[in-house]
Amino acid sequence: MTEFNINTLPREVRKIREDIRTMIIRGAGRIARAGAKALAIAAEEYRGNNVEDFISYMKEVAEYVKSARPTAVSLPNAISYVMTRLLRASPGSVEEAKQIVVSAAEEFIEYSKNAVKVIAELGAKRIENGDVIMTHCHSTAAVSVIVEAHNQGKVSKVYVKETRPKMQGLITAKALADAGLDVILIPDSSVRYFMKRVNKVVVGADTIAANGAVINKIGTSLVALAAKEARVRLYVAAETYKFSPQTVIGELVPIEVRDPREIVEDEWLKANPQVKVYNPVFDVTPPEYIDAIITEKGIIPPQAAILILMEEYGLSISDVLSREQVEFKYEELRE
């Protein structure tokens, strides 16, 4: 078997991984689709005729792509969607194996795009006439719900939080305004100030844990707390591939801490070397602050997250444990 070398991977595969890592490709859905696409490209460009070699090559590629963002669960889920289909089949030739990878990737991408449409339809039913909505960060699923409800004439206006440090609220604000909604952009600090005027909060999710806790952009849990206090309903719009199978076996979802320079400029850091700048990117919203999670498989209470995980990822913990991505995890733990 030939040694795996990252530099021999197709340029496009390396570019996708780099773009995910540097957040040029961002948003859990987009990351997942890009990951699946990277596998398809890697398979198509593979030169060789030994099936065993191809499979171990694909495993390496899968690990390489997955390592781009350690916390985005949609990425390993997309990868394992493709990889399980490859590993379950016993392809007789490299050509056949390549075909399995390519069609599984296409299938996932198609499924993912369709999921957002279904979420929009289901979620819009939860919006009532004249509702004032608040949202945080940028989520394609959440935006789709709000736009669909707007197309049905239900939405009065939307408060969009700026979402420091990377200001993803601006992307949401533009998308919603382009769809014809009345958008009011507000600073993150004013979340409680405006909550009294809001009827529903709709946010996306990065990862959903087995207990229904939602990991999403920093600030989400504060929005949820303020909504709970004001008795405003909060919905999380999320495709099922954002549910994390690892959490079923007790893994904690790691919270990514990013560069201080996302918050302050380099000159400021140099002028104030004693100040630490702490930049956690995600926070955890407890299930009791969430009214429902809107998935393409239906609207569920967060506490029923395990139902989605059982349906999507096999039936028992032992099944989950036997899954390859978990084995990899365990190796990491042993190290």
Q: Which positions are annotated as active-site residues?
A: 137, 206
What is the distance between the alpha carbons of residues 53 and 94, in angstroms, rounded to a whole number? 9
- Residue 272, both tokens: 């104030």
Location of structure tokens 């339809």: 121
Complex with other proteins: residue 130 or 280, whichever CB lies closer: 280
CB of 221 to other proteins, least distance (A): 5
Alpha helices in 45-93 (DSSP H): 51-66, 74-88
- Residue 311, both tokens: 């349906």
What is the maximal distance between C-alpha atoms in the chain? 64
Residue 1 CA to chain centroid, in angstroms? 35
CB 151: neighbour CB atoms within 10 A? 14
CB of 164 to other proteins, least distance (A): 4
What is the distance between the alpha carbons of residues 122 and 140, in angstroms, rounded to a whole number? 15
Complex with other proteins: residue 185 or 307, whichever CB lies closer: 185
CA distances from residue 244 to 59, 83, 120, 251, 313 in whole angstroms, order as listed? 20, 17, 22, 9, 9
Taking the CA atoms of residue 323, residue 34, residue 183 and residue 294 in that order, the dihedral angle to the nearest 10 degrees is -30
CB of 236 to other proteins, least distance (A): 16
Whether residue 90 contacts residue 225, with contact meaning beta carbons closer than 8 Å, is answered with: no
CB of 136 to other proteins, least distance (A): 8
Complex with other proteins: residue 165 or 287, whichever CB lies closer: 165
What is the distance between the alpha carbons of residues 106 and 151, in angstroms, rounded to a whole number? 30
CB of 167 to other proteins, least distance (A): 7
Complex with other proteins: residue 286 or 298, whichever CB lies closer: 286
Complex with other proteins: residue 59 or 164, whichever CB lies closer: 164
Q: Indicate the angle between helix axes 51-66 and 94-125, nearest 10 degrees.
A: 40
Peptide bond into 165 cis (omega under 30): yes
Residue type, 21: R
Complex with other proteins: residue 4 or 194, whichever CB lies closer: 194
Whether residue 259 contacts residue 226, with contact meaning beta carbons closer than 8 Å, is answered with: no
Whether residue 72 contacts residue 35, with contact meaning beta carbons closer than 8 Å, is answered with: no
CA distances from residue 279 to 71, 164, 256, 283 in whole angstroms, order as listed? 15, 10, 9, 11
Complex with other proteins: residue 167 or 321, whichever CB lies closer: 167
Footprint of other proteins on this chain (CB under 8 A)?
Answer: 160-165, 167, 170, 173-174, 177-178, 182-194, 217-219, 221-222, 225-226, 229, 263-264, 268, 271-272, 274-280, 283
CB of 257 to other proteins, least distance (A): 11
CB of 270 to other proteins, least distance (A): 12
